[in-house]
């Protein structure tokens, strides 16, 4: 069954879920366009909503079928909050007097909202929100020990764990991690903490599309506040969502009357699955000449709509190709190593599509070593000894030095290895002078000009 047909069948399965579009709520999907290809991950989804009949927007939610079933992925409040805080007593319904110095912290855990407060005695009290009031709950304080006095708990999520850190009257900290049923003492989470600084702390949290603040005080009672906000009858919202395959998506908007509505048509996003194409210009095949320890040039072209990164692996080391671009030749150099004439080249795009290409090459003549003196005296006799590996017989060699050409002595050592040597008198100079030299080698099929030129310094001697 092809992918398009599968998506159409899924659309049929989900149409029942979204067919209750309210006349009071109109939702429009803006981008990505239907059947568009996503070249960037996470994907940014954009939708607009409008309500009529005197209601205002409350929230907008992104829904997808990524898991195989229609599910809510992200919900965002469509309110513009602003200060000042306005007194609100509803949010502290059910909270009892803890004695003195109440220090509440509210957090969401396993789809419930909990409140844990400290007090002067250094113990803890726990509550769970029922929907209209706080109800005493001892489970959420399981494992919490007496910290001495003036406990000030704060609960937060970090690296997929829930932690509680509390202060006390002596200014130190105690730490806990939630095991799933109880708090377990944990010292790692309080590493580096010094002084508690204060005995009570306000806590801000989101609940039922509103933001509240609950604060303790020295009398042990609580004060509650709600943030003021502007409401909207029309709003445009974006959602950033990472996807792993082609998906169907829609956005639901809900208003203050409790009416909710999806867009009338689901959209499809197709995740880019095309890996970068890799074309290597060089090194490739059999090259004329190079030397161990010298530079070789990699020329490679990557082609991809959303190319992200390129690199190669030579002798087990990954090396980035800086500034690599799509559709053009990218050039970089590397140091040639003996008996290592292959590499793997990689290209990756912004969605994570990875491609690689293994290449190997060799040389007609490979220079393995060269012996000479880098500083010589004028009129001295100097030796130049070159060792090469050749795929063909070397029939002649010439040393080019200071505009002069010298025939070389050639000795075959077997297995394609040759020793090439020259012994020449260094020219007379009036001052210290740098000269370059190189070898030209001849085989039955080619004259190979050594592209590597070496430098030698002739030192003047005042005679």
Could you write out the DSSP letters of every residue in 116-184? EEE-TTS-EEEEEE-SSSEEE-SGGGTTPPP-SS--EEEEEEETTEEEEEEE-TTS-EEEEEE-SSSEE
Which among 166, 196, 228 is the end of a domain?
228
Domain match, 177 and 284 both: no
The pairing of beta strand 285-291 with beta strand 354-371: parallel
Q: pLDDT 10s digit of each residue in the chain, 463 long?
A: 444 434 444 444 444 344 344 448 999 999 999 999 999 999 999 999 999 988 889 899 999 998 889 999 988 877 766 656 678 888 888 888 877 777 788 888 888 899 888 888 878 889 999 888 899 999 988 988 887 777 778 776 655 677 776 766 665 667 788 888 888 887 776 665 544 344 445 555 667 667 675 655 556 666 676 766 778 899 999 999 999 999 999 999 999 888 999 999 999 999 999 999 999 999 999 999 999 999 999 999 999 999 999 999 999 999 999 989 999 999 999 999 999 999 999 999 999 999 999 999 999 999 999 999 989 888 899 999 999 999 999 999 999 998 899 999 999 999 999 999 999 998 888 888 898 899 999 999 888 877 677 887 877 666 5
**pLDDT at residue number 448:** 84
183 has which bridge partners? 178
Angle value at C-alpha 18, between 206 and 59, nearest 5 degrees: 20
Cis peptide leading into residue 42 (ω within 30°): yes
The residue range of the domain holding 71 is 3-78+232-271
- Nearest of 443, 423, 441, 342 to residue 376 by alpha carbon: 423
Which among 315, 338, 363 is the end of a domain?
363
The pairing of beta strand 454-459 with beta strand 433-442: antiparallel
Domain match, 379 and 344 both: no
- Cα separation of 58 and 45, whole Å? 19
Specify whether the CB–CB gap between 211 and 81 falls below 8 A: yes
Specify whether the CB–CB gap between 457 and 374 falls below 8 A: yes
Whichever domain contains 398, its CATH number is: 2.60.40.650
Domain match, 118 and 189 both: yes
The answer for 16, left when phi > 0, alpha when psi is -120 to 50, beta otherwise, is: alpha
Domain match, 341 and 251 both: no
Domain match, 142 and 236 both: no
- Cα separation of 288 and 298, whole Å? 15
Residue 348 CB burial class (10 angstroms; 0-12, 13-18, ≥19): buried
DSSP string, 310-350: EEEEETTEEEE-TT--BTSEEEEEEE-BTTB-EEEEEEEET
Number of domains in the chain: 4
- Nearest of 222, 152, 136 to residue 190 by alpha carbon: 152
- Nearest of 95, 132, 133 to residue 116 by alpha carbon: 95
- Cα separation of 291 and 335, whole Å? 10
Domain match, 106 and 33 both: no
Q: Is 85 among the domain residues?
A: no
Domain match, 137 and 161 both: yes
Q: Is 87 among the domain residues?
A: no
- Cα separation of 443 and 389, whole Å? 12
pTM above 0.95, yes or no: no
Q: Is 86 among the domain residues?
A: no
**pLDDT at residue number 14:** 42
**pLDDT at residue number 82:** 63
Q: Is 83 among the domain residues?
A: no
The DSSP letter of residue 95 is: P
């Amino acid at each position: 069954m092809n992918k398009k047909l599968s998506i159409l069948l899924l659309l049929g399965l989900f149409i029942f879920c979204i067919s209750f579009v309210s006349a009071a709520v109109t939702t429009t999907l803006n981008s990505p366009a239907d059947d568009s290809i996503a070249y960037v991950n996470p994907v940014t989804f954009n939708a607009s909503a409008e309500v009529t009949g005197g209601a205002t927007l409350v929230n907008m939610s992104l829904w997808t079928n990524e898991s195989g079933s229609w599910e809510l992925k992200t919900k965002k409040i469509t309110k513009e909050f602003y200060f000042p805080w306005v007194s609100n007593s509803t949010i502290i319904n059910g909270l009892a007097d803890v004695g003195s110095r109440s220090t509440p912290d509210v957090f969401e855990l396993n789809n419930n909202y909990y409140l844990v407060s400290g007090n002067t005695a250094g113990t803890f009290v726990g509550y769970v929100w029922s929907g209209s009031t706080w109800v005493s709950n001892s489970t959420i304080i399981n494992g919490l020990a007496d910290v001495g006095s003036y406990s000030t708990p704060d609960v937060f999520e970090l690296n997929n764990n829930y932690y509680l850190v509390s202060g006390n009257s002596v200014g130190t900290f105690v730490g806990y991690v939630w095991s799933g049923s109880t708090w377990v003492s944990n010292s790692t989470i309080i590493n580096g903490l010094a002084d508690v600084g204060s005995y009570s702390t306000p806590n801000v949290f989101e609940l039922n599309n509103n933001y509240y603040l609950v604060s303790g005080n020295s009398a042990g009672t609580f004060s509650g506040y709600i943030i003021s906000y502007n409401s909207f009858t029309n709003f445009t919202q974006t959602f950033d969502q990472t996807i792993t395959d082609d998906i169907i998506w829609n956005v639901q908007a809900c208003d203050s009357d409790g009416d909710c509505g999806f867009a009338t048509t689901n959209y499809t996003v197709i995740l880019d699955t095309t890996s970068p194409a890799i074309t290597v210009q060089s090194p490739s095949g059999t090259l004329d000449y190079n030397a161990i320890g010298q530079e070789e040039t990699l020329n490679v072209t990557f082609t991809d709509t959303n190319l992200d990164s390129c690199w190669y692996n030579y002798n087990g080391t990954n090396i980035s190709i800086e500034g690599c671009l799509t559709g053009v030749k990218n050039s970089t150099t590397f140091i040639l190593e003996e008996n290592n004439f292959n590499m793997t080249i990689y290209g990756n795009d912004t969605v994570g599509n990875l491609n690689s290409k293994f290449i190997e090459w060799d040389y007609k003549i490979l220079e393995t070593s060269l012996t000479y003196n880098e500083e010589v005296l004028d009129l001295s006799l100097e030796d130049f000894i070159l060792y090469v590996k050749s795929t063909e017989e070397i029939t002649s060699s010439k040393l080019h030095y200071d505009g002069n050409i010298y025939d070389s002595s050639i000795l075959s050592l077997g297995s394609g290895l040759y020793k090439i040597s020259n012994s020449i008198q260094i020219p007379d100079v009036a001052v210290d002078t740098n000269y370059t030299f190189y070898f030209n080698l001849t085989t039955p099929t080619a004259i190979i000009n050594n592209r590597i030129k070496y430098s030698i310094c002739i030192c003047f001697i005042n005679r």
